[in-house]
Structure 1
Amino acid sequence: MTSDPIFVVQLHDARRLHYDVRLEVDGVLKSWAVPRGPSLDPTVKRLAVFTTDHDLEYASYEGVIADGQYGSGAVIVWDAGIWTNLTRDDRRRPVDPAVAIERGHLKFHLHGVKLNGAWAFTRTGEDWLLVKVRDAAADPALDLTVAEPKSVLSGLTIEDMATRR
């Protein structure tokens, strides 16, 4: 029996504050750094930079990565849950998530504490865009990055975590 793949969004205060959106694919967390975080507005396209894969164990990591190490700075789990692949080919057949990423377009549904509904990552040259799909969970008036700043695991803000150095 296979369980649903997980997702996590970690708020990371490294060189610049950003949101790491990570989706479990083939036993690893495929990762995109989204500088301004996810938007619930389907008209907003957010820059997403594809980054290195992370081990699944990293999905629950919160803490402060020491100075001098890759990604040094505070990290909180801003959101977490499971996700469903919605990517289809021209004949409406499911496309494997790894293949979809390789081809440059992954459509998915998040079932999280904060983020719900359909989203898409689309490659545009070297970078990617993260866009909210128009659905019942879309809400152009709500900015969750402002309204919901705390970790879904610890209840800490990124500022709280940074003081734990």
Structure 2
Amino acid sequence: MVDELAEYRRRRGRETEPPPERPAARGGRFVVHEQRTPQPHWNLRLEREGVLVSWTVPRAVPRAPEEVRLAVRIDDQPPEYTDDAEVWDHGAYEALHWNDRRVEVVLQGERLRGRYSLVHRDDPAAGNAWKLTRLDPAEDGHEVTPRFLAPMPARPGPLPGAAEDGDWAYEFAWPGLRTILRVTGGRITAFDETGEEVTSRFPELRGLGAQLGAREALLDGEIVVFAAGAPDPDGLRRRAAADGGEARGLRHRHPVFYLVTDVLHLDFRSLLSSPHHERRALLDGLGLAGPHWQVPPSHPGDGAAVARASRDHGLAGIIAKRRDSPYRPGLANDDWIDIRHGRTGAR
């Protein structure tokens, strides 16, 4: 680890940096603890002078320079300190600058590798609030998770014929609100299909962000309300029109469920050009299951059987998606077909 830090200094040309206001310690160990519930946060701890100097970071340690995050100074802990939080990352660090107002370090962990600064806010009212910034460029291939992408629509059409049935995956067509969910720093932001933010309308979904933790994702799905095990259009209309306190009041009478059907970005990488079957495998691997969200099954092949099951459950139809199709935001095409009952003949 020491050799890696020496190589980092050589590459960065640290001899050109101005000297710190007072000599900085060589460094030591660092650890980041992750706490996902009830409010996700991460505790960054740097070993120094016999203690772990600590900050809590509500929205995760940034991975790119543009992702400036709040960090709140908290109590120091002994070097052997552990708690009930998960160790999200650990390794060695080198201190390049350290005083009561600014700390600059190079982290060499399993996940975090690079130069970071912690700067105390100048505002006297800031108290223990600091600003945490990554100073190095993001890792190669890093792509900031988009705020919003228009959902890809399905084009009305008939059931694919038997000869090409295996080229398709089939899902139930849920009568819901198409919703894009952006998950960053353990928090969610929900957008309707026009791009309007609707997060406050669906407070039940906040736990999904905590479940993903520091993973970042852009998800596509449907918000549905059920009553007696069947979709409830009236309940959905009421929830779609409610906001803030009214939404919180309705969540027990008309709870919403987010049915996640696709993942468009994951861990700072775009998946738009990946084939549908690969995106679905990644989505299934996220383990998204909670009291108000789940990943409904996608069935490769046997579209006629899926259509019959949809009809038996009182749904309007199914969606067929080519297994090798990319995700084209906002663009209807023949890769996704909206098949309504009564229109299930071969193409």
The answer to whether the superposition gives a TM-score over 0.5 is yes
Match of 1:11 among 17, 26, 34: 34
Q: CA RMSD in A?
A: 2.9
Q: Tell me the amino acid that sits aligned with residue 122 of structure 1.
A: V
Cα 1:120–1:4 shift into 2, 3 Å: closer
Cα 1:123–1:82 shift into 2, 3 Å: same
Aligned-pair CA distance for 1:135: 3.6
The answer on whether the counterparts of 2:52 and 2:77 sit within 8 Å (CA) in structure 1 is yes
Matches within 5 A, 1:71-90: 75-87=85-97
User: Cα deviations across residues 118-158 of structure 1 (Å, max 9, x unaligned)?
Assistant: 000000132101100034647453779204xxxxxxxxxxx
Q: Tell me the amino acid that sits aligned with residue 52 of structure 2.
A: L
Larger relative strand fraction:
1
Q: Tell me the amino acid that sits aligned with residue 131 of structure 1.
A: T
Q: Tell me the amino acid that sits aligned with residue 120 of structure 1.
A: S
- Of structures 1 and 2, the one scoring higher in RCO (CA 8 A, sep 6+) is 1
User: Cα deviations across residues 84-107 of structure 1 (Å, max 9, x unaligned)?
Assistant: 0122xxxxxxxxx3xx1x1x1111
Q: Classify the secondary structure of the residue corresponding to 1:134.
A: coil
Matches within 5 A, 1:1-80: 5-13=28-36, 15-58=38-81, 61=82, 63=84, 75-80=85-90
- TM-score, with normalisation over the residues of structure 1? 0.65
Aligned-pair CA distance for 1:13: 3.8
The answer on whether the counterparts of 2:29 and 2:93 sit within 8 Å (CA) in structure 1 is yes
Larger relative helix fraction:
2
Greater CA drift, 12-21 or 43-52: 12-21
User: Number of residue pairs matched?
Assistant: 123
Aligned-pair CA distance for 1:22: 0.3
Is 2:112 the partner of 1:105?
Answer: no
Q: Classify the secondary structure of the residue corresponding to 1:57.
A: coil
Unaligned runs of 5+ in 2: 1-24, 146-183, 186-213, 216-266, 268-347
Q: Classify the secondary structure of the residue corresponding to 2:80.
A: helix
- TM-score, with normalisation over the residues of structure 2? 0.32
Unaligned runs of 5+ in 1: 64-74, 88-96, 148-165
- Give structure 1 regions of 4+ aligned residues with deviation exceeding 4 angstroms: none
Task: Name the larger-Rg structure.
Answer: 2
